[in-house]
């Protein structure tokens, strides 16, 4: 196809879309909603990954994280996780694995994250479904949580110590200075030794909202609730250069200690971006489905309008063919129109998606995120929709008989 014909098709498509402004706009809107959903998902996912990776960078590049491998790929497993009180149904990690990791060369510190939910009682209040984080004193060496008052949990003179988050302190004790007071989990009593400062980011690689958590000694918590699942083990290496080497060693010594059990993964650096939130997986899954449905509906809209357009312009097709347009020329003309419609929809959806993302960012810690991948995805989807739903009307136009078409009037 020569450039001149290409330009002509472009011009024709522009004229045709302009002439039917309202219906072109409505057609574009269908595509736009689908694309906007995609943009929203990608933008939020991008922003979460960036958030977490910035945190990891802030903590230090020497962080290594061990997580049990779960089959989170299936919808049922995600739903099962969501509906249960524990964040993870079954973990292959145990508190003893922390010591194994500590024993690995070049590992400075290691601490487990074992989250349980339970009822916490104080003199004044009883609160249900509190996030109880069981860990060891080394936790603070790896992730510098900032304490507002007091000290972190310890196990030197008193094993039943607790640190409460900013919001939790107010909820449990009606004060932000609860040091020395006691709280009860099941029948175990814990002494509060510290209060955390307000945490800005509630989304983090630990999957714990520290503001609303009570941090306890893992062993004591295990005793209180009767057994704990370890969701994650954080470790710190001596220096950043040997991260790969150290994580390999952690892997091999863990496999050895666990008698060949390989159901865990070791992450470091940028790979610790997984926000470990099932809710997020569900939400983005739903949005993806909405986007897919909207795109299909939008595509059907494009096809519908193109079929109407082909019908209305049958006479024109006859004229064009009689003066020398080949079927291919006609095909290209209508294909261009469908593509431009869907591309306009894509562009519109891009803007709409960022407007959505902006509103979401007001209410949540997400920030709208833009990258060339997102732009490419927008472009790709609208192109695909245009081709898939434009080809049939265009073929229909191209296959029209010129003599019959010339007899056809609106």
Partner 1 sequence: MGANNTVIELKGITKRYGYGDTESFALKDVDLTVKRGEFIMIMGPSGCGKTTLLNTIGLLDRATEGSYILNGENVAGISSRRQAKLRAKKIGFIFQDFNLIPDLPIIDNVALPLVYTGHSKTAQLKQASSALSRFHLQEREYYFPYQLSGGQQQRVAIARAIVSDPEIILADEPTGNLDSRSSHIVMEELKAIHEEGNTIIMVTHNPSLTTYATRVINMLDGQIDTDVKTVSDNNLPKPVEERKTRRRSHKRSGRKK
Chain residues in the site for partner 1 (CB under 8 A):
2-5, 7-8, 15-16, 19, 315-316, 318-329, 402-403, 406
Is the CB of 9 or the CB of 67 nearer to partner 1?
A: 9
Q: Of 350 and 394, which CB lies nearer to partner 1 in the complex structure?
A: 394
User: Taking the alpha carbons of 250, 254, 260, 262 in that order, is the dihedral positive or negative?
Assistant: negative
Residue 402: CB minimum distance to partner 1, A: 5
Q: How far is the CB of 410 from partner 1 (least distance, A)?
A: 9
Q: Taking Cα atoms as reference points, which of 149, 133, 125, 146 lies closest to residue 212? A: 133
- Smallest gap from residue 13 Cβ to partner 1 (A): 13
Q: Which is nearer to partner 1, 3 or 259 (CB)?
A: 3
The nearer residue to partner 1, 360 or 406, going by C-beta atoms, is: 406
Residue 174 vs 326, nearer CB to partner 1 = 326
Least distance from C-beta 331 to partner 1, angstroms? 11
Question: Residue 10 Cβ, how far from partner 1 at the closest point, in Å?
Answer: 11
Among 336, 343, 345, 326, CA closest to 390? 336
Three-state DSSP class for residue 93: strand
How near is the Cβ of 3 to partner 1 at its closest, in Å? 7
Cβ within 8 Å of residue 390, ≥6 positions away: 302, 303, 306, 334, 335, 337, 338, 339, 341, 342
CB 100 within 8 A of CB 242: no
DSSP letter at 230 equals B
Nearest alpha-carbon partner for 365 in 48, 36, 8, 98: 48
**Is 215:143 a contact under the CB 8 Å cutoff?**
no
Cβ closest to partner 1, residue 252 vs residue 399:
399
Of 16 and 122, the one with the shorter C-beta distance to partner 1 is 16
Q: CB of 23: closest distance to partner 1 in angstroms?
A: 16
Residue environment code for 189-228, b if the CB has 16+ CB neighbours within 10 A, otherwise e: ebebbbbbeebeeebbbbbbbbbbbbbbbbbbbbbbbeeb
């Amino acid at each position: 196809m020569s450039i001149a014909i290409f330009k002509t098709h472009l011009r024709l498509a522009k004229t045709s879309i302009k002439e039917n402004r309202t219906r072109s706009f409505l057609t574009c809107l269908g595509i736009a909603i689908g694309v906007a959903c995609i943009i929203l998902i990608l933008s939020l996912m991008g922003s979460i990954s960036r958030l977490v990776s910035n945190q990891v960078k802030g903590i230090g590049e020497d962080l290594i994280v061990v997580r049990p491998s779960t089959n989170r790929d299936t919808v049922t497993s995600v739903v099962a996780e969501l509906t249960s009180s524990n964040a993870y149904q079954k973990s292959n990690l145990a508190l003893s694995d922390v010591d194994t990791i500590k024993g690995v060369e070049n590992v400075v510190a290691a601490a487990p994250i074992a989250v349980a939910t339970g009822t916490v009682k104080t003199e004044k209040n009883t609160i249900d479904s509190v996030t109880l984080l069981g860990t060891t004193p080394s936790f603070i060496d790896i992730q510098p949580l900032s304490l507002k008052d007091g000290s972190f949990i310890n196990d030197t003179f008193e094993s039943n110590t607790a640190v409460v988050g900013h919001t939790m302190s107010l909820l449990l004790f009606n004060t932000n200075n609860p040091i020395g007071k006691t709280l009860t989990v099941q029948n175990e009593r814990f002494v509060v030794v510290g209060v955390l400062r307000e945490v800005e980011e509630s989304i983090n690689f630990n999957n714990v909202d520290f503001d609303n958590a009570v941090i306890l000694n893992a062993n004591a918590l295990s005793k209180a609730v009767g057994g704990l699942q370890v969701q994650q083990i954080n470790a710190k290496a001596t220096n950043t250069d040997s991260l790969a080497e150290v994580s390999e060693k952690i892997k091999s010594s863990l496999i050895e200690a666990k008698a060949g059990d390989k159901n865990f993964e070791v992450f470091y650096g940028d790979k610790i971006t997984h926000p470990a939130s099932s809710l997020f997986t569900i939400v983005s899954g739903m949005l993806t489905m909405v986007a897919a449905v909207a795109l299909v509906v939008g595509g059907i809209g494009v096809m519908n309008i193109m079929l109407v357009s082909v019908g209305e312009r049958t006479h024109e097709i006859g004229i064009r063919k009689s003066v020398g347009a080949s079927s291919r020329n006609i095909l290209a003309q209508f294909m261009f129109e469908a593509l431009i419609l869907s591309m306009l929809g894509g562009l519109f959806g891009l803007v709409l998606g960022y407007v959505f993302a902006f509103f979401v960012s007001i209410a949540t810690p997400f920030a709208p995120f833009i990258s060339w991948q997102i732009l490419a995805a927008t472009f790709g989807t609208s192109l695909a929709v245009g081709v898939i739903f434009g080809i049939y009307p265009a073929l229909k136009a191209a296959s029209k008989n010129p003599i019959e078409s010339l007899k056809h009037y609106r």
